[in-house]
Amino acid sequence: MSFAIAIDGPAAAGKGTISKAVAAHYGFAHLDTGLLYRAVGAKVRDGADPVEAAKALVAEDLDAAGLRTAEVAQAASRVAVNADVRAALVDFQRAFARRAGGAVLDGRDIGTVICPEAEAKLFVTASAEVRAARRYRELLERGADVTPEEVLADVRERDARDTDRAEAPMRPAEDATLIDTSAMSIEDAIAAAIAAVNARREET
Ligand code: DC
């Protein structure tokens, strides 16, 4: 039996941590779809054609080193405006969503475009300032040389590009449960996500 959980939202809202915890809670597989765009973005930065890179993407590419940097995140956000790049990545994501045993996919357009029929949909967000502060702490721990102002500018630039693009813009599905994690601990955010999914499971 398949059961798809779509978790969308902007960068550093807590989506990744929540998605992993939700997948572990139900014993479902998890796909961080941002990694698909990051892997394509990294290849384009290294000189590849965006659409060819997206068509040729294989699962091992998602394990490449260095996909978590701010530079690759920006490259990902830029290739993600390309409709042909997005189209090349659809089948893989849809097949993942329908795998037996349940799946959690996190991204920007999972509940709206990739899997509008997902059994449960969440939109996880937080203010740009809170998200930038979280991302700044993460980057410092990884030894990056950045200022809080640079991280906030980066978050805002990526939000604007992901929200304003014509193709599959980031937005909550009409029937998504909104979770604003600005003032929540990660434990509370995970509990809220599981409660929202449980409510949908009872309905289906
Ligand atoms: O979730 P992330 O920060 O790893 O995503 C990197 C970029 O990839 C993001 O800025 C926009 C793009 N992306 C997308 O367009 N659609 C998705 N489903 C996931 C990510």
What does the pLDDT look like over 38-81, one tens digit per residue?
999 999 999 999 999 999 999 999 999 999 988 999 999 999 99
Q: For the chain, give the mean pLDDT.
A: 96
Amino acid at 97: A
What is the whole-number distance in angstroms between the Cα of residue 174 and the centre of ligand 1? 20
What is the whole-number distance in angstroms between the Cα of residue 20 and the centre of ligand 1? 16
* CA–CA–CA angle 109, 114, 117 (5° rounding): 110
Nearest CA to ligand 1 atom 1: 34
- CB 36 within 8 Å of CB 62: yes
Nearest CA to ligand 1 atom 18: 107
Q: What is the mean pLDDT of residues 18-28?
A: 98
The ligand 1 atom at the shortest distance from the C-alpha of residue 80 is 15
Q: What is the CATH number of the domain that holds 58?
A: 3.40.50.300
CB 131 less than 6 A from any atom of ligand 1: no
Instruction: Tell me the pLDDT tens digit for each residue of 87-128.
Output: 999 999 999 999 999 999 999 999 999 999 999 999 999 999
Q: What pLDDT is recorded for position 201?
A: 86
Report the number of distinct structural domains present in the chain: 1
Nearest CA to ligand 1 atom 11: 77
Strand spans (E) along the chain: 4-8, 29-32, 103-107, 120-125, 177-180
Show the domain range for 36. 4-203
Q: What pLDDT is recorded for position 185?
A: 94
- CB 182 within 8 Å of CB 126: yes
CA dihedral 37, 42, 47, 52 (to 10 degrees): -30
Q: Answer whether residue 171 shows pLDDT above 80.
A: yes
Nearest CA to ligand 1 atom 10: 77
CB 33 less than 6 A from any atom of ligand 1: yes
Q: What pLDDT is recorded for position 202?
A: 87
The ligand 1 atom at the shortest distance from the C-alpha of residue 73 is 6
What is the whole-number distance in angstroms between the Cα of residue 37 and the centre of ligand 1? 6
Q: What pLDDT is recorded for position 77?
A: 94
- pTM exceeds cut of 0.75: yes
CB 86 less than 6 A from any atom of ligand 1: no
CB 11 less than 6 A from any atom of ligand 1: yes
